[in-house]
Amino acid sequence: MVLFHAFLSATEADAFIGHGKGKYTESRGVGVDEHGRMTDVKTEIRTSSHTWCQTAECLADPLVKSVVTRVSAVTQTPEENGEFAQLVYYQACPKADDKSCAFYRRHSDYIDGDQHHNQGVRIYTLFMYLNDVPPDGGGGTRFTDLNPPITIQPVRGKAILWPSVLEDDPGTIDPRTHHEALPVTLGEKYGANFWIHMHDFKGPHATGCTMG
């Protein structure tokens, strides 16, 4: 795992927040439909909201393009291997166990079915924090299976990079990088997920061939 304390500027962070405003919808998990194809499904482990930097306006934004290029350079992977940035939002709740909390319980970003798809499995996640959450306001990213577990607190511009697969067997999940997004109890949390695949993602996505 690599922690960047200043991966993106405040202006770049604000650009992503601006592109997401008014577009957030209920976050979903990954499942299989009646035809055996991967699809989005409602899940009890995730109650945040998200949208995608997939519109022409977002993709053409020079600030966004600069960050996408930086992600490619840091991960040493082609830009085409990356999914479109997923912009996430977590609203505050009165206390961490309240029913109104937004969270994402323990999970891995590895998707079992992807090894059979053109893009291959997700090999890296680079998650960016787009705003500050007070130190006592929750909202951290907790890596549950490390010994000891660690929690990264949201600070604008900070980013974390971690693998979803084993270095010597990149088709196999790395069990050490399961993680969870903790509820926010003060303020709100904006973030951006960049998921990097083993092979070209954007090419197959353009022809509808990333899920079959």
What does the block give as tokens for 37?
Answer: 């194809």
Question: Domain coordinates of the chain in residue numbers?
Answer: 2-206
Q: Quick one: pLDDT at residue 190?
A: 98
Specify the DSSP class assigned to residue 101.
-
Residue 28 has pLDDT above 80, yes or no: no
Q: What span, in angstroms and rounded, lies between the C-alpha atoms of 162 and 36?
A: 29
Residue 41 has pLDDT above 90, yes or no: no
Q: Is residue 205 classed exposed, middle or buried when 0-12, 13-18 and 19+ CB atoms within 10 A define those classes?
A: middle
As a whole-number percent, the residues of the chain with pLDDT over 70 amount to 91
Q: Quick one: pLDDT at residue 147?
A: 95
The confidence band for 60, taking pLDDT boundaries of 50, 70 and 90, is very high
Q: What span, in angstroms and rounded, lies between the C-alpha atoms of 121 and 173?
A: 9
Q: What is the pLDDT of residues 98-132, one digit of tens each?
A: 989 998 999 999 998 898 889 999 999 999 999 99
Q: What span, in angstroms and rounded, lies between the C-alpha atoms of 87 and 193?
A: 6
As a whole-number percent, the residues of the chain with pLDDT over 90 amount to 81
Q: Quick one: pLDDT at residue 38?
A: 46
Close Cβ partners of 62 (under 8 Å, ≥ 6 residues apart): none
Superfamily of domain 2-206: q2cbj1_9rhob like domain (2.60.120.620)
